[in-house]
Chain A
């Protein structure tokens, strides 16, 4: 069972490897990946440095090229595939069927993983993508553990699941909420609720408003911790009731599901967070390494250590975590 950790910089990548990641995933410094944030991600030189470092440690490097190509700049996505392969990436994480076809034809030896952004939530969809010679599918975060189990038992393709981090509650790659409010699509630009559209304003009575492109996402009382205005984590009014209409600010945490995921043969546990700092990556990698090692020592005796949960909660959105869609009651 692989521990796959995020890195938005070479420093974060080193932190992941030093603390026990089996593999690290990164993106290039442009809109070809779904964490296209200012100051984040790797250019050509850094990518080569990252690959050398990871390989020296005997670990693997995955490169996410997981947005959808614009017709005018299609070459940029092709170039990203070329760059990643030439830098020595062990796997490419791709969503767009155009990019998949290009990579499969041009580099038949390169391992291709179907990105979560491709939204393959069912066996027939997985079958569809097999024509691009994919070796692994990253499952969307909309599935319950029962659905993950059913999929695992019906396909021989490798499965990767999200284990920890920010929680997308919509089927990924098919969510247009952010472009509806800002005009910039996560699918093509690579950022949801982009920082350039965020405004914080203090009201006259001392409350703090968070806005996305002028639209009010939430308003915090003095005693409340203000969260980033990701639009699906806002508080809205429905027939006079004000609540987190879609989802609370919270992070996904599947530590308690580890034995089940292991039993079903899930190949890789993905940690979200390429936008996070090296120290964040270091601390959560350490926890997940311990948890997986403990699981592998004796799967039947596995117990979540309170210290692990405590640390993960402390670095989570809104300081608490959820099982998300894995747990049916969440739905």
Chain B
């Protein structure tokens, strides 16, 4: 295997999970262009009603990032429910320029039909080597592992003969910093938090650029409400786990937050190990409850 220990890790900026204004998005991607990130993902993955940026705006940003030397991937919606959402998805798949991150098998179906290669997002249920091999045959070039899987589980999959044989045909990416996307619902929890129904949401997610925190009754962080998405209350942070990724993982994802995204990108790129801030977690990587914080030797 040629992958072992030779390739340096690449760092990616994941799609913005929150609903930010157009101006905030444009500022963010200017910073991304100037950063040392290798890959930038962009596109709406949570709610089809979030239209501060339209398809053409995303394409403009994508071109700008490409000119700045970034690899660009277009991320697509996770929970696709209506024919209009599928039509919008089709526009992304037909973009003709950039690879797609498929966050639902519906996107895989469209891309497979057009014989386009794709990245498989973390919300697609791939838990074993057999499924991974099938996706590879359909055109997968990159796999973003489900957030709840551990290093051991990943290693186990990658060392199965069925995968070890083809390991250099695809890349593996791990969600490594940010609030974990944990669930998607038909219901909008941000609208509910304002006593509104989803149909009358008035795009209230714009008011919460980092979502709304839900605490337990004894004051512990439980979840972050982000529209129809529920995130981890704690921030996932695998900074100190980078050494255990070398030779196993190809790309490390930093998920955009309203603040300090590029600070953390730097910390990760320089592998600056430090005690994790209180309220950060890394349990999943260690095959524990996600919210655990484990000190790494």
Residues on A close to B: CB < 8 A?
68-72, 74, 95-98, 101-102, 117-125, 127-129, 141-144, 147, 150, 154, 169-171, 173-177, 179-183, 185, 187-188, 213, 215-219, 232, 234-239, 241-242, 245-247, 324-325, 328-331
B244 located at the interface, meaning its Cβ lies under 8 Å from any Cβ of chain A in the complex: no
Residue numbers in B under 8 Å from A324 (CB-CB) = 186
Q: Tell which of A95, A102, A122 touches B130, judged by Cβ atoms closer than 8 Å.
A: A102
Q: Is the CB of B125 within 8 A of A177?
A: no
User: Do A182 and B108 form a contact, CB below 8 Å, given A97-B131, A171-B184?
Assistant: no
Q: Is B193 in contact with A176, judged by CB distance below 8 angstroms?
A: no
> A176–B156 contact, CB under 8 A?
no
Instruction: Give the contacts of B173-203 with A (CB-CB under 8 A).
Output: 180, 182-189, 192-193, 197-199
Which DSSP category, helix, strand, loop or mixed, fits chain B's interface? mixed
Interface residues contributed by chain B, number (CB under 8 Å)? 69
CA–CA, A208 to B279, complex, Å? 27
Choice from A117, A118, A174, A213 contacting B123 with Cβ under 8 Å: A174
Of B125, B187, B189, B219, most buried by chain A (CB within 10 Å of CB) is: B125
3 pairs of A and B residues whose beta carbons are closest in the complex: A124-B106, A142-B186, A98-B130
Partner of A187, one of B108, B127, B222, B230: B127
Docked Cα-Cα span, A98 to B284, in Å, equals 23
8 Å CB contact of B82 from A141, A147, A182, A330: A147
Q: A124-B107, A179-B148 are in contact. Are A70 and B216 (CB under 8 A)?
A: no
Q: Is the CB of A124 within 8 A of B110?
A: yes
Name which residue of chain B comes closest to A77, CB basis: B128
B7 is an interface residue with CB less than 8 A from chain A = no
Q: How far is the CA of A331 from the CA of B227 in the complex (A)?
A: 11
In the complex, the answer to whether A124 meets B86 with C-beta atoms within 8 Å is: yes
Binding site for A on B (CB under 8 A): 78-83, 85-86, 89, 104-110, 112, 123, 125, 127-131, 134-135, 146-148, 153, 156-157, 160, 180, 182-189, 192-193, 197-199, 212-220, 222-223, 225, 230, 232, 283-284, 287-292
Q: Which of B131, B180, B185, B223 contacts A236 (CB 8 A)?
A: B223
Contact of A237 among B128, B182, B217 (CB under 8 A): B217
> SS class of chain A's interface: helix, strand, loop or mixed?
mixed
User: What is the minimal beta-carbon distance from B207 to any residue of chain A, in angstroms?
Assistant: 11
Known contacts A120-B105, A185-B148; A98 and B193 CB within 8 A of each other: no
> Are A325 and B127 in contact, CB atoms less than 8 angstroms apart?
no
Partner of A331, one of B131, B148, B197: B197
Q: CB-nearest residue of chain A relative to B158?
A: A71
Contacts of A154 in B (CB 8 A): 83
**Are A217 and B216 also in contact (CB < 8 A) when A141-B186, A150-B83, A187-B125 are?**
yes
Verify A215–B216 contact, CB threshold 8 A. yes
A169→B292 CA distance, assembly (Å) = 25
